[in-house]
Structure 1
Amino acid sequence: MKMTKNPISKLIVLSSLVLCSYSGTVLAQQSTPPVMCPGYKQGPSNIPSERVGKKIQKAFEAYNNDQIKEALDILYEIDTSDAFDRAFTDKFIGQLLAVQEGQAKKSLQYLRNSVKDKQLTDADHASILRVVADVSLQDQQFQNAIDYYKKWMEFTCKEDPEVYLRMANAYYELKQWDNVIGPADKAIALYDKPNKNPYVMKLSAYFERKMWPQTIAVAEDLVRVFPDDPQWWSQLGMFYAQVEDYKKALAMLEVAYNNGFLKKESEIRVLSQLYASNDIPYKAASIMEKHMKEGLLKRDEKNLASLANAWHSAKEIKKAANYYGQAAALSNDPDYLRRQGTLLLSAEQYKDAVATLEKALEANKDAKEAGRLHMAIMEANFYQGNFKEAYKHVKLAMNDSATARSAKSWEPYIKEKARNRGIKI
């Protein structure tokens, strides 16, 4: 799970560019000083030299007219050895490049240069530290982003939940899972209104390391803090299932289902499996059947066989046989035919049982199953009074070591019943 990155847009430039007014040959800076660390002495409020100031004013006018290229061309021409003029010019260039597609790396060169010697006013210095961090994050220079967010915090002594969240995201991208937790917790504590993103960062960092108790604890927080968000209910249920706490998993997913939160086939399948694991097979089968009829669950071999098995566990023999038959029709798997035939035999639908079991016998290439199939066909024929067919199959079952003993015990019984009916076998 990954937090969506915040794109660097023209808003960054608008929010961080120094607002300038030109009066004669003086370019005045009107930025508001930031809240600084206790005991910090405010730095000087320098202004560009007259020569540089005129060019900057001209570039700023071009920028105001959306002539970004022209503004940059003017700024590139500035050649100065004055430290403040250089820093101020580089700041302006870097900010304009930040909104140009594909210019992030070049923008960062200028922006970092503008703050390396603390020549700018306190407000500008703080602002550019933050912009460098934001642009670095956007350009996937994650360690650089972290470094500059830290520099911004050290310089301003501010704690901003968005900064902590972006740091957590950068650590996540670097796969430094253990470092994600601290800034994510800070962000959670600082947001005035709960924001799910830092919780997601924590959840992801624990999940990646398979730290299930911690992952579950964060998921429980997500359900508690964001109860109307469907995905956290199902996620928490899945995490409980991961640690084999099937009762809690079922309770959570049942609540989610009853509130209409489960929308995916995989979620319905897991819920059904949890009913089965908790010895509630009727519900396991009912929920699968319902959503198969509605189309959420695919009517494929795997789902049909699972549904048949669930109805079998619920002792709904006829339904189970029906769904094994449907699974067999899609797969031509003789084992589904064997199961269907055996269930039809249990349901005393002997004629259908014989037909199905004979298909299974014909399709079955596994000699180990032959004896069992002959025995089942024998029984279905016997209970219909077809003693000749029963006797034929019991003799064939005697050839299989797995069923020979049972078949031998049936043989005299079949002969006796046939003799009593006057049937010669």
Structure 2
Amino acid sequence: MIMSRMKFQIAAAVLATGLAAMAQAQSGAIDARTFDALTRAQELAESNQFDEAIATLDKLKGNDKLGSYAKSQLWNFYAFIYANQEKYTDAIAAYRKVLREPEATEGLKQQAKYTIAQLYFQTEQYDQCIRFMESWLSEVNQPTPTAHIMLAQAYYQQDSYDRSLTNIDKAIELEKAAGKPIQESWLRLKAALYYAKKDYAKTAEVYEELISIDPAVGYMKQLAGMYSELGRDADRLAVYDAVYQHGSLKSENEVLNLAYMWLGQDVPYQAGTIIEDAIKAGRVEETNKNLETLANAWAQANERDKAVPALTRAAEVSGDGIFMARLAGVHFNAGEYKQAAAAAAKADQMGGLKNAAGNRLLMGMAYFNAKDYEDALQAFRRAKQDRSTFKAAAKWEEHTLAEVRRLRAIEEALKALEQRTREALEADENNVDAIDLGT
């Protein structure tokens, strides 16, 4: 936000040209020799021969007959040369001498005050910058937007946010009245001020205005951050997604944050699509956590065919049974009991489970639904060894045993029926044979 030195040098060069014209116009107040010396000093300065220019002015300074008006021009040229040499302290001192000359013109004094304010700003002496700029503004009939912006920047550096905002608004008002577009740097400063005041609603409004001028990705990200502070999650998502569609979400964190936003808005399919595409493109690493998030997104979206490969890959990458156990749950919820049982058994074998007993209980239930009762009973008996699953496992064991007894009873009844049927058929055959013999 600090004015660049190049800008100041350009302004000073323009000022020097104006002063030469002024000196010429009022040549009656300056004798010909003095005027020639000042002109020579200006020419040397414009050729970057600063030492020679200073030497010329030093000779002139020794003239006891120099009047107040001529001295004001002399100090002004000293200040101009010092500023171009980046000797800002000397330049300020010379400009302040201009102000002390009683015959200095009002225009020259005003310009000196303005430039002193610039130099104090350049040297980060913001209190002095404010003092001289406020004085200048009180004296001129047509203040410039640039003056108010400089004052706003100085107040900002002193944490006087309200005064800074007042000056920014005044600069914007003047610029609009002149029919000119508002500079983005002014609005960025305004946004920074509202943010420093923790007025996130106003900060968001400024970034909305900036985006209307230039829909830059940086502005969009800042606006999304403000929406987050305000709890406007849907708006935040809309802005972030626009950045994503623009292809400007580059980092892994940014892509994953967008996916989490979609999950937060209960749109898991979009979250899964974003993560999967980013993994394929190499922008998101294929880690356990990222694969788990991907699998969860697909599972929430009821995309079983997509969730299964993600969990399988997560299990391969991690080398532990956590993701295989989750895969077992996905298969179980889909009614794929054989696959669920196999995944749970593999998870149990791999280890590293946070809830091994719960996995064994699910394994038993999967085996039960797959009608593999012997393996189900083994799983339930192992699950009974943990207090957290003892009751549920015991009930399932009892239920399984009852089912086994029921099936055995049915099987025995069928065998008995089959035996009676066979005996009845044999009896009928014997009766037929007896009838035949009787005839």
- Smaller-chain TM-score range? 0.7 to 0.9
Distance in 1 separating the partners of 2:52 and 2:296 = 73
- Are 1:194 and 2:169 an aligned pair? no
Task: Give the CA deviation at 1:16.
Answer: 0.9
Distance in 2 separating the partners of 1:58 and 1:182 = 44
Deviations 1:306-364 (A, max 9, x none): 3232222212234234334444555567644543342244342236513552255x224
Distance in 2 separating the partners of 1:297 and 1:158 = 56
- Which residue number corresponds to residue 75 of structure 2? 90
Q: 1:309 aligns with which of 286, 296, 299?
A: 296
Is residue 129–residue 151 contact of structure 2 (8 Å, CA) maintained in 1? Answer: yes
Distance 1:421 1:118, change over 3 A: farther
- Which residue number corresponds to residue 53 of structure 2? 71
Q: Name which of structure 1's ranges 213-222 and 177-186 shifts more when overlaid on structure 2.
A: 213-222
Task: Give the CA deviation at 1:374.
Answer: 2.1
Q: 2:151 aligns with which of 153, 167, 172?
A: 167
Q: Name which of structure 1's ranges 343-352 and 397-406 shifts more when overlaid on structure 2.
A: 343-352
Deviations 1:209-266 (A, max 9, x none): 221222223233334x4164444344333322322222333344445555x2743445
Deviations 1:262-283 (A, max 9, x none): 4344554444333322222222
Structure 1: gaps of 5 or more residues: 22-26, 32-43
Deviations 1:89-108 (A, max 9, x none): 3322222222235x333332
- Which residue number corresponds to residue 29 of structure 1? 23
Q: Which amino acid in the other structure matches residue 312 of structure 1?
A: A
Is residue 234–residue 267 contact of structure 1 (8 Å, CA) maintained in 2? Answer: no
Higher helix share: 2
Structure 2: gaps of 5 or more residues: 410-439
Distance in 2 separating the partners of 1:80 and 1:62 = 20
Is residue 230–residue 261 contact of structure 1 (8 Å, CA) maintained in 2? Answer: no
- Which residue number corresponds to residue 411 of structure 1? 397
Bigger relative contact order, structure 1 or 2 (CA pairs below 8 A, ≥6 apart): 1
Distance in 1 separating the partners of 2:142 and 2:52 = 37
- Which residue number corresponds to residue 373 of structure 1? 359
- Are 1:392 and 2:378 an aligned pair? yes
Distance in 2 separating the partners of 1:378 and 1:141 = 78
Q: Which amino acid in the other structure matches residue 205 of structure 1?
A: L
Distance 1:257 1:370, change over 3 A: closer
Distance in 2 separating the partners of 1:327 and 1:144 = 63
Distance in 2 separating the partners of 1:114 and 1:332 = 80
Is residue 272–residue 283 contact of structure 1 (8 Å, CA) maintained in 2? Answer: yes
- Which residue number corresponds to residue 39 of structure 1? none
Task: Give the CA deviation at 1:28.
Answer: 6.5
Is residue 325–residue 343 contact of structure 2 (8 Å, CA) maintained in 1? Answer: no
Is residue 348–residue 356 contact of structure 2 (8 Å, CA) maintained in 1? Answer: no
Is residue 282–residue 311 contact of structure 1 (8 Å, CA) maintained in 2? Answer: yes
Deviations 1:123-175 (A, max 9, x none): 33232322222233333233333333223322222222222222222222333
Distance 1:211 1:302, change over 3 A: farther
- Which residue number corresponds to residue 218 of structure 1? 206
Task: Give the CA deviation at 1:408.
Answer: 0.6
Task: Give the CA deviation at 1:407.
Answer: 0.6
Distance 1:336 1:100, change over 3 A: farther
Q: TM-score, normalised by structure 2?
A: 0.76
**Which aligned pairs between 1:178-257 and structure 2 lie closer than 5 A?**
178-191=162-175, 192-223=180-211, 225-226=212-213, 228-255=215-242, 257=244
Distance in 2 separating the partners of 1:395 and 1:414 = 11
Instruction: Give the RMSD, CA atoms, in angstroms.
Output: 3.4
Distance 1:60 1:235, change over 3 A: closer
SS where residue 363 of structure 1 aligns? coil
Distance in 2 separating the partners of 1:257 and 1:299 = 20
Distance in 2 separating the partners of 1:186 and 1:300 = 53
Distance 1:74 1:262, change over 3 A: same
Q: 1:6 aligns with which of 4, 7, 14?
A: 4
- Which residue number corresponds to residue 141 of structure 1? 125
Distance 1:71 1:326, change over 3 A: farther
Q: Which amino acid in the other structure matches residue 180 of structure 1?
A: S
Q: Name which of structure 1's ranges 91-100 and 75-84 shifts more when overlaid on structure 2.
A: 75-84
Distance in 1 separating the partners of 2:49 and 2:120 = 25
Is residue 324–residue 343 contact of structure 2 (8 Å, CA) maintained in 1? Answer: no
Is residue 71–residue 101 contact of structure 2 (8 Å, CA) maintained in 1? Answer: no
Task: Give the CA deviation at 1:385.
Answer: 5.1
Task: Give the CA deviation at 1:182.
Answer: 0.9
Is residue 72–residue 96 contact of structure 1 (8 Å, CA) maintained in 2? Answer: yes
Distance 1:228 1:331, change over 3 A: same
Matched pairs, number: 396
**Which aligned pairs between 1:255-294 and structure 2 lie closer than 5 A?**
255=242, 257-258=244-245, 260=246, 262-265=248-251, 266-294=253-281
Distance in 2 separating the partners of 1:345 and 1:49 = 104
Higher alpha-carbon Rg: 2
Distance in 2 separating the partners of 1:329 and 1:111 = 75
SS where residue 402 of structure 1 aligns? helix
Q: 2:310 aligns with which of 323, 329, 332?
A: 323
- Which residue number corresponds to residue 37 of structure 1? none
- Are 1:363 and 2:352 an aligned pair? yes
Is residue 88–residue 123 contact of structure 2 (8 Å, CA) maintained in 1? Answer: yes
Is residue 311–residue 320 contact of structure 1 (8 Å, CA) maintained in 2? Answer: yes
Distance 1:214 1:381, change over 3 A: same
SS where residue 194 of structure 1 aligns? coil
Distance in 2 separating the partners of 1:4 and 1:335 = 56
